[in-house]
Amino acid sequence: MIHNSSSGQSLIEVVVVAGLIMLILVALVAGATVAIRNSQFSRTKARAMQLNLEAMEWIRCERKEGWSEFASRNGTFCLKELNFDAPGNCSSSDQFIRQAVLTKEGTDKIEVKLNTSWTDSNGEHNEEIITYLTKW
pLDDT digits (tens, 9 = 90+) for 6-32: 566 788 889 999 999 999 999 999 999
Q: How far apart are CA 35 and CA 42, in angstroms?
A: 11
The mean pLDDT value for 80-95 works out to 75
Cβ–Cβ < 8 Å for 52, 114: yes
Q: Which of 62-66, 99-103, 125-129 has the lowest mean pLDDT?
A: 62-66
The values of phi and psi at residue 5, to 5°, are -105, 130
Q: How far apart are CA 92 and CA 99, in angstroms?
A: 11
pLDDT at residue 3 in the model:
59
Residue 88 parent element (H or E): none
Cβ–Cβ < 8 Å for 100, 81: no
pLDDT at residue 68 in the model:
87
